[in-house]
Amino acid sequence: MKLKQALIIIIALAGSAFAQVSNFSDPSVEYSFEIPDAKWKQVKSSASGNVEFVYVDRNDGHLEVRKMASPRTTPMADVIKDQEDKLQFMPGYVTGKQENFRGRLLGSVFNFEFVRSGRPFSGRYYFLRSGDTIYILRFTGFQDSMRSIRPQTDSIARTFGVRPG
C-alpha cells in the first residue's frame, strides 16, 4: 500500500513540474521558446529582437537573446571567436570549451568564466543558426547557480525556434 501511495505522490509531483513549462512568443520577435520554470521572468523586450529574462535574480541567471546577420557560409567557430574577442577583457576571464549543440536549430555552445564584484560568474552562450541569422542566447550568473540551472538553459536553447515567414 505504501508503494502505491509513493507512486501517486511521485506522479503528482512530476505532473506539477511539467505544468510549469510555458511558452515565450511575442509579436515583435520572430522566435519562440519554452520557459521550463516559473522563476524565469521577462524583464525586457524590444522591437529589435532583444529579449531578456532573469531567473529569480539577475545574478542567479540572466538570459539575453540577441541576433546577428552572418552568411550561412561563415563557420560557427569564426562567429564564436569574434564574440570571444569581446569577452576576453572581462575581469578574471577564463575561456571554456566549445561544443556542438542540437535542438530545433543547430549550433554551438561556448562556456567561459569571469569575475564580477569579486564573485565568480559563468557564461554559457548558445549560438543557433537559422539561414543567414545567428541567434545568441547569452546566459550568465553566479557559477554555482549556473551549474544548477544548466538543464534549464539547455532546455530553453533546445526549444528555441524561428517562426516561418
Judge whether 12 lies within some domain. Answer: no
Tell which residue, 45, 24, 7, 44, has the closest CA to residue 155: 24
Phi, psi torsion values for 159, nearest 5 degrees: -90, -5
How many domains does one find in the chain? 1
Show the domain range for 62. 22-162
| Binned average pLDDT, 10 residues per bin, the chain of 165 residues | 50 51 90 96 80 96 96 96 94 95 97 96 98 97 97 98 86
| Phi-psi group of 17: left, alpha or beta (phi > 0 → left; psi -120 to 50 → alpha; rest → beta) | alpha
Measured CA to CA, the distance from residue 131 to residue 46 in angstroms comes to 22
pLDDT at 31: 94
pLDDT at 160: 98
Residue 10 domain-assigned (yes or no): no
Residue 7 lies in a domain: no
Write down the pLDDT at residue 165.
66
Q: Is residue 83 in a domain?
A: yes
Residue 14 within any structural domain of the chain: no
Any domain includes 34: yes
Please report, for the domain that includes residue 97, its CATH number: 3.40.1000.10
Determine, yes or no, domain membership for 120.
yes
What is the spatial distance between Cα 11 and Cα 110, in angstroms, rounded to a whole number?
Answer: 36
